[in-house]
Amino acid sequence: MPTSQKTPVKRGRPGYDQQSVLRIAVEVFNRHGYEATSMGILAENLGISKSAIYHHVPSKEELLRLALEEALGGLEEVLTDDGATHGAPDARLEFVVRGTIGVLVERLPFVTLLLRLRGNTQMERDALVRRRAFDRNVAQLVAAAQESGSMRSDIDPGTITRLLFGTINSIVEWYKPGGVLSAVKLADDVVALAFHGLHR
């Protein structure tokens, strides 16, 4: 007689898992602002009770933590990839720019939430510390490219980094995934503009 196999028990309301709850929560945070979003508003958007949300996560703060990890974890992984750590400094910088745009497009709602943080809670402040560390790493790459002679040296590395990532970060406000502009073409355009300018 064949032994019956147990089906894994899925916690929470059928049709939802933690990741799907998180994705909808992040959309709501981006629409209303994290501080202004109550568990009641989340429950309404999810179509479930507040108590059902707690089957997936213990708190609204945990949803924020998970969302920020999606964004920051993706960005930090770019900096540890071989393309960012080996080779000529300008090639490494270009790799980081392309990788950052890839993360932004792939995890657009999560990066949008990260970029809109104001540091109102300790968790937000910790996330902003990690974001500033990312920026410092990029500024070091810029400085290395300048020292190697592959990038103009008359502009401060910090200024270049802020202008470059100001451009990249603005993408969250207008980019529409699934449109005619692919993530690869978007990265090509940003690299062409940032590294070669508008002159022919």
CATH code assigned at 33: 1.10.10.60
Q: Could you tell me where the DSSP H helices lie in 10-107?
A: 18-32, 39-46, 50-53, 60-80, 82-85, 89-106
* 122 and 41 assigned to the same domain: no
| C-alpha span between 68 and 61 (Å, rounded) | 11
Mention every residue, 6+ apart, whose C-beta is less than 8 A from residue 98.
Answer: 187, 191
* 86 and 120 assigned to the same domain: yes
Residue 154 domain-assigned (yes or no): yes
Q: Report pLDDT for 15.
A: 61
Report the half-sphere exposure of 156 (CA within 13 A, side-chain side).
5
Question: What total of structural domains would you count in the chain?
Answer: 2
Q: Tens-of-pLDDT digits for all 200 residues of the chain?
A: 444 444 343 444 446 788 999 999 999 999 999 999 999 999 999 999 888 899 899 999 999 999 999 999 999 999 999 999 999 999 999 999 999 999 999 999 999 999 999 899 999 999 999 999 999 999 999 999 999 999 999 999 999 999 999 999 999 999 998 889 999 999 999 999 999 888 87
What angle is formed at CA 85 by the lines to CA 81 and CA 90, rounded to 5 degrees?
115
* 125 and 28 assigned to the same domain: no
* 171 and 103 assigned to the same domain: yes
Number of H helices, E strands in the chain: 10, 0
| C-alpha span between 146 and 41 (Å, rounded) | 50
* 101 and 188 assigned to the same domain: yes
| C-alpha span between 196 and 87 (Å, rounded) | 20
Q: Report pLDDT for 6.
A: 44
Residue 117 domain-assigned (yes or no): yes
Q: Report pLDDT for 2.
A: 45
Q: Report pLDDT for 13.
A: 44
Residue 103 domain-assigned (yes or no): yes
* 88 and 144 assigned to the same domain: yes
Residue 107 domain-assigned (yes or no): yes
Mention every residue, 6+ apart, whose C-beta is less than 8 A from residue 13.
Answer: 48, 52, 55
Residue 70 domain-assigned (yes or no): yes
* 45 and 94 assigned to the same domain: no
Cβ contact 72:104 at 8 Å:
no
Does residue 5 sit in helix, strand or coil?
A: coil
* 51 and 109 assigned to the same domain: no
* 29 and 83 assigned to the same domain: no
Domain extent, residue 140, equals 66-196
* 127 and 186 assigned to the same domain: yes
* 36 and 83 assigned to the same domain: no
| C-alpha span between 67 and 26 (Å, rounded) | 7
Residue 7 domain-assigned (yes or no): no
Cβ contact 163:186 at 8 Å:
no
* 85 and 170 assigned to the same domain: yes
| C-alpha span between 62 and 49 (Å, rounded) | 18
Count of C-beta atoms within a 10 Å radius of residue 63:
25
DSSP secondary structure letter of residue 172: G
CATH code assigned at 80: 1.10.357.10
Q: Report pLDDT for 10.
A: 40
